[in-house]
Amino acid sequence: MQVPHSRRPRRQAPLPQMTEIALVQGAAPLTRPDESPEPSAAVTLHQRPLAYVDRLDRRVLAQIDLLVIHATELPTAAMARDYGEMIQYESSRTGNSGHFYIDRDGRIEQYVPLDRVANHVRGFNGRSIGVELINSGRYPHWYRLDHQNKREDYPAVQINALLDLVKHLTAHIRSLTWAAGHDELDISEIPAEDSATALIRRKMDPGDHFPWSALVSQTKLKRLLLGI
């Protein structure tokens, strides 16, 4: 999850050579209509577009080469939805959200069409797809020093739904090559709320207990490690 906080801009890794293809879901194709695939039988996408999606920047899908895994650090999907609908940027009247949200029971909801740039990770929004896993994380004291080791395991049904979604996306977006965690791309630190001297990581999702080995071994994505 993205919460506004100032820091210096980070340099992006160079984009690989890519080929433009059509949309997977949610809006009119940007290339030939017969290239636009339907969701596979193994993946059901529940469309719940945010109210401000038409104000988000457009992009061609050939820009997408990165999938970013997040944890919402909120206990329920309803709370994640409420946060996603909040206006965070007055100039554009948009907010922070991923493209997809996966609940603990495996339900997948799409908040933002893939041809729109979602605000979910600093410095990498234009090239990436954001996938949010419903998970309490450090809730409700994200920035307290004594809550930094708080964690909730990811249920198998949720991870299996993520794997199915990734397989679906990589089958239809040929430029989608890399995967990274939010905590691997945003490594900024902020003062702890309960300490005058301690600094803590601003982002710790999806955390070191996320099953990266399953994602890499069972999909075509490769790890993109920039901030470690």
Q: Could you tell me if residue 69 is inside a domain?
A: yes
Average pLDDT for the chain: 86
Q: Could you tell me if residue 15 is inside a domain?
A: no
Q: Could you tell me if residue 44 is inside a domain?
A: yes
Predicted pLDDT at 226: 77
Q: Could you tell me if residue 28 is inside a domain?
A: no
Mind listing the pLDDT tens digit for each residue in 127-143? 999 999 999 999 999 99
Predicted pLDDT at 153: 98
The length of the chain, given as a count of residues: 228
- pTM above 0.85? no
Question: Mean pLDDT across the stretch 12-33?
Answer: 33
- pLDDT level of residue 40 (50, 70, 90 thresholds): low
Q: Could you tell me if residue 139 is inside a domain?
A: yes
Q: Could you tell me if residue 207 is inside a domain?
A: yes
Q: What's the number of domains the chain is made of?
A: 1
Q: Could you tell me if residue 62 is inside a domain?
A: yes
Q: Could you tell me if residue 134 is inside a domain?
A: yes
Residue 35, pLDDT above cutoff 60? no
Range of the domain at 142: 35-223
- pLDDT level of residue 1 (50, 70, 90 thresholds): low
Q: Cα–Cα–Cα angle for 62, 65, 71, nearest 5°?
A: 130
Could you tell me the CATH number of the domain that includes residue 185? 3.40.80.10
